[in-house]
Amino acid sequence: MVAQGELGPDGQFSAAEVLAKHDENYMPPEAAEHCQAQGAAAPAAPRSHRSPSP
């Protein structure tokens, strides 16, 4: 996580911007709702990184 903002005189940090890392399958809830409302396909399910069972 990376945050940009100001440290107040009371020691409290107020973030103006926060950046967080996520995987390639993440979709914000607002975007998912918009896609559903537009009839778009649902996001792909996360792929497993495990080897297939024999």
The values of phi and psi at residue 6, to 5°, are -130, 145
What is the distance between the alpha carbons of residues 19 and 50, in angstroms, rounded to a whole number? 29
Encode the chain (54 residues) as per-residue pLDDT tens digits.
999 999 999 999 999 999 988 888 888 899 889 988 888 765 565 555 555 555
**pTM exceeds 0.85, yes or no:** no
* pLDDT of amino acid 16: 96
- Contacts of 7 by beta carbon, 8 Å cutoff, 6+ apart: 13
* pLDDT of amino acid 13: 97
Q: What is the largest CA-CA distance in the chain?
A: 62
